[in-house]
A and B are shown apart, each in its own frame.
Chain A
Amino acid sequence: MSWMAWTWPTALLFIGIFSAMGVLTILEIKSPGGAERKGALGLVTTRGDRLFLSLLGSAYIFLAWLGFFGTPLWAPLVIAICWATFCFWKV
């Protein structure tokens, strides 16, 4: 494992992503079909699509903040959580 140069922050990031996928798997087994619906953006999305949009959107929110304002990153964290909430709630 040493060649992978793990650090705790990156490990936590991946643990977060993989546990989100785990939660989605459990939800899918409990109620199959992915909770498909047509959301606010006019797209037909499933839970998985919403997670994908939340993660990709959050990456862009953090990168944009970092590029325009730099650290610290508390404000984009709040924006990213709002974005993810919006994704799961409306999209």
Chain B
Amino acid sequence: MKTENQKAWFFVLPVLLLVAFNALIPMMTVVNYSVQETFGDNMFFWEGLTWFENLLRSERFHASLGRQFLFTGLILAIEIPLGIAIAMSMPRKGFWVPFCLVIMALPMLIPWNVVGAMWNIFTLPDIGLMGYFLNHVLGISYDMTQNVFAAWVTIIIMDVWHWTSLVVLLSYAGLVSIPEAYYQAAKIDGASNFAVFRFIQLPKMKNVLTIAVLLRFIDSFNIYTEPFVLTGGGPGNSTTLLSIDLVKIALGQFDLGPAAAMSLIYFAITLLVSWLFYTLMTKDDAR
């Protein structure tokens, strides 16, 4: 029988302890909270599955979940194709390469709350550069503080501005790793530009695109700061995404039990969708 050296596990131990401390134990506490009611002071009362049942039937939860899927779906549908397109039009060698890379990386270096504040000031209808321009120069009525459609357009554009670069940089890394010989072979065979894209570039970018889609899905599904700073969830509740609603329940209303139940359902959705994306995108790879 083949003997295996299991010593490597000891090297994983510190990370395991760290993850237990900052993720696993808090997560277990959330599970404990989700079946109880508390009024503070470390006093807990058993509630069973009441919070889950209430939440699954609550209009408010359905609405914020729907908004969350709409937001994530829209930004993925824009950022992934746009990111690939920008990466393909970037130069592969020469003087402009570092320039393009730095310009692309800049938005990602700005902290979330600053992005929210920037876009808030930028889009305010009477004093913001874009808001003023649209309203008073072009004469288009635009007010993201009052109009639901304008608020949605603004948070979508803000996210596209902030995070398309991630898709661009990952796709670009995939593109530059394609050897020149592939393109030469395609040229000899007389392949069209689309055929080159479909059968050479896209398959070669698949691995990095899997990571890009996963990261963008998880980040956008858990997004809090940017829309919170920009619109505060308004007008009304129209941009109250899941995490904003969750914080309202947990810290605004101090309903820790329902908030814990909500975070577990939230977690289950993130887990399932991430698993689906990952499985579907890596399904054809020989393992």
A residues in contact (CB < 8 Å) with B: 2-7, 9-10, 13-14, 32, 36, 42-44, 52, 56, 59-60, 63, 66-67, 70-71, 73
In the complex, which residue of chain A has the Cβ closest to the Cβ of B38? Answer: A5
Question: Knowing A63-B268, A67-B57 touch, does A43 contact B31 (C-beta < 8 A)?
Answer: no
Query: Which of B48-56, B158-166, B198-206, B228-236 interfaces with chain A?
Result: B48-56
Complex contact B42–A3 (CB within 8 A): yes
Complex Cα–Cα for A52 and B279 (A): 13
Cross-interface CB contact of A4 among B25, B48, B265, B268, cutoff 8 Å: B25
Complex Cα–Cα for A44 and B46 (A): 42
Complex Cα–Cα for A1 and B33 (A): 13
New contact pairs (12) apart from A2-B42, A5-B32, A60-B268, CB-CB < 8 Å: A4-B32, A5-B29, A5-B44, A7-B32, A7-B35, A7-B44, A42-B283, A44-B287, A52-B275, A63-B52, A63-B265, A66-B49
Complex contact A56–B32 (CB within 8 A): no
Complex contact B35–A9 (CB within 8 A): yes
Complex contact B271–A7 (CB within 8 A): no
Residues of A within 8 A of B272 (CB): 56, 60
Question: Knowing A32-B4, A60-B272 touch, does A43 contact B279 (C-beta < 8 A)?
Answer: yes
Residues of B within 8 A of A67 (CB): 53, 56-57
B173 interface residue per 8 A CB criterion: no
Can you list 5 pairs linking A and B with CB atoms under 8 Å apart? A5-B42, A32-B2, A43-B279, A63-B56, A67-B56
Chain B interface, number of residues (Cβ within 8 angstroms): 28
Instruction: Give the interface SS of chain A, mostly helix, strand, loop or mixed.
Output: helix
Contact with A along B263-285 (1 / 0, CB 8 A): 00100100110010001000100
Question: Knowing A4-B25, A5-B44, A59-B268 touch, does A10 contact B53 (C-beta < 8 A)?
Answer: no
- Which residues, 77 to 100 on B, are CB-close (under 8 Å) to A? none
Complex Cα–Cα for A42 and B280 (A): 11
B19 interface residue per 8 A CB criterion: no
B36 interface residue per 8 A CB criterion: yes
B74 interface residue per 8 A CB criterion: no
Residues of A within 8 A of B38 (CB): 5
Contact with A along B16-38 (1 / 0, CB 8 A): 00000000010011011101101
Question: Knowing A67-B53, A71-B49 touch, does A10 contact B31 (C-beta < 8 A)?
Answer: yes
Complex contact B35–A56 (CB within 8 A): no
Among B2, B33, B49, B272, which residue has the most Cβ atoms of chain A within 10 A? Answer: B49
Chain A: minimal CB distance from B254 (Å): 15
In the complex, which residue of chain B has the Cβ closest to the Cβ of A43? Answer: B279
Complex Cα–Cα for A56 and B278 (A): 15
Complex contact B36–A5 (CB within 8 A): yes
Residues of B within 8 A of A60 (CB): 268, 272
Chain A: minimal CB distance from B56 (Å): 3
Question: Knowing A43-B279, A60-B268 touch, does A7 contact B56 (C-beta < 8 A)?
Answer: no
Among A36, A42, A63, which residue has the most Cβ atoms of chain B within 10 A? Answer: A63
Residues of B within 8 A of A71 (CB): 48-49, 53
